[in-house]
Amino acid sequence: MSELQKSGASAQRAAIVGTGSYAPARVMTNADFEKIVDTTDEWITTRTGIKERHFAAEDEATSDMAAEAARRALQAAGAAADEVEMIVVATITPDMPFPNTACLVQEKIGARKAFCFDIEAACSGFVYAAEIARRFVEGGALRTALVIGAEKMSSMIDWKDRSTCVLFGDGAGAAVIQPSRDGRGIRGAVLHSDGSLGELLMVPGGGSRAPASHESVDKGLHFLKMQGREVFKYAVNNMTAAALEVLEKTGLKKDQIACVIPHQANHRIIKAVADRVGIPLERFFINVDRYGNTSAASVIIALDEAVRSGRVRPGDLVMFLVFGGGFTWGAMVLEWSG
């Protein structure tokens, strides 16, 4: 019988027992963008809520940011790197096609016992990865998983396209997932995808469909392309639906949710979701103004900030709400154990 079962705590409920995040030092403000594309601080602020974002140094890759966030999460969890049995990195900006970024993180932090893989679900990636880790831990297959969302979005930004370049930022967040020590932890999740809408948000080149070539680079196929207005509508509708579905699945009422951590793409999307779900905007944690859209890193950076600032406290019910390319979307509810 495991210690957990002996203690009488809920059988193998998995919990996030520590978080960490990392934002690269270089900050670019909206005023800085005014100098490189035809835009204004006023447009960016009113249309997105973004004021500034962090960008990695040229020699700083996704795995470097991921490893730093991982070290901070392990420290917060009081766990050693050699206790980690699984590393999952959610990213659309891996250091390279392979080896996977999780293997690179393993080497950097010295987590020799871990098996390592990446998952790609765009901005929804962290919640997808956390749900995978949760299932391994709940099933008793392992005790310590490290789940990371990390992105160097600056590596796929078209700096001449004002409709996308102002939106994104770089960074990483990490969570240590272990069996719950106090019965609190992850209550449930819903995950969805719709591959018919993939063309609305994509990087068309650099894969097996259009491998890197002089022609693909000349055409800018390695840059992120987005039909923003369309994506906006689906983001609002699908995040709203996921919020209501996860409440139903977990048997919780919206009044019980102390803090919603939505994907940080656009302040207007977050407000629209708050209005439709019927949870006051004050209960949504928002940091898009300081980070922009960091894709798979967004919600775990936000949770880390919310926890460290005392905005999320032990016993609070927290809801992640995510949406991204694919399309992918989902929600997860957890009771923070601290």
List active site positions: 123, 263, 293
Of the CA atoms within 13 Å of residue 98, those in its CB half-sphere come to: 4
How many whole angstroms separate alpha carbon 194 and alpha carbon 205?
Answer: 21
- Which range touches ligand UT7 (CB under 6 A), out of 65-73, 77-85, 223-231, 271-279? 223-231
Beta strands in the chain (DSSP E): 14-22, 26-29, 52-55, 86-90, 115-119, 145-152, 170-179, 186-193, 201-202, 225-226, 257-262, 317-324, 328-335
DSSP state for residue 290 in the 8-state scheme: H
Please tell me whether residue 171 binds ligand UT7 under the rule CB under 6 A: no
CA nearest neighbour of 11 among 19, 21, 1: 1
- Which range touches ligand UT7 (CB under 6 A), out of 180-188, 205-213, 228-236, 308-316? 228-236
Q: Which of 65, 67, 265, 307 is the binder for ligand UT7 (CB under 6 A)?
A: 265
- Which range touches ligand UT7 (CB under 6 A), out of 37-45, 242-250, 302-310, 313-321? 37-45
Q: Which is nearer to ligand UT7, 48 or 63 (CB)?
A: 48
- Which range touches ligand UT7 (CB under 6 A), out of 12-20, 40-48, 144-152, 254-262? 40-48
Q: Which of 17, 123, 127, 190 is the binder for ligand UT7 (CB under 6 A)?
A: 123
Please tell me whether residue 198 binds ligand UT7 under the rule CB under 6 A: no
74, 43 Cβ separation under 8 angstroms: no
At residue 94, φ and ψ (nearest 5 deg) are -60, 160
Structure tokens that stand for 110 in this block: 């010295």
Please tell me whether residue 202 binds ligand UT7 under the rule CB under 6 A: no
Q: Which is nearer to ligand UT7, 34 or 85 (CB)?
A: 34
Which residues share a beta bridge with 318? 259, 334
Please tell me whether residue 103 binds ligand UT7 under the rule CB under 6 A: no
At residue 191, φ and ψ (nearest 5 deg) are -130, 140
Q: Which of 179, 185, 324, 326 is the binder for ligand UT7 (CB under 6 A)?
A: 324
End-to-end alpha-carbon separation of the chain, Å? Answer: 25
Q: Which is nearer to ligand UT7, 117 or 232 (CB)?
A: 232
User: Cβ of residue 58: shortest distance to ligand UT7, in angstroms?
Assistant: 24
Residues near ligand UT7, by CB under 6 A: 39, 43-44, 47-48, 123, 162-163, 166-167, 228-229, 231-232, 235, 265-266, 269, 293, 323-324
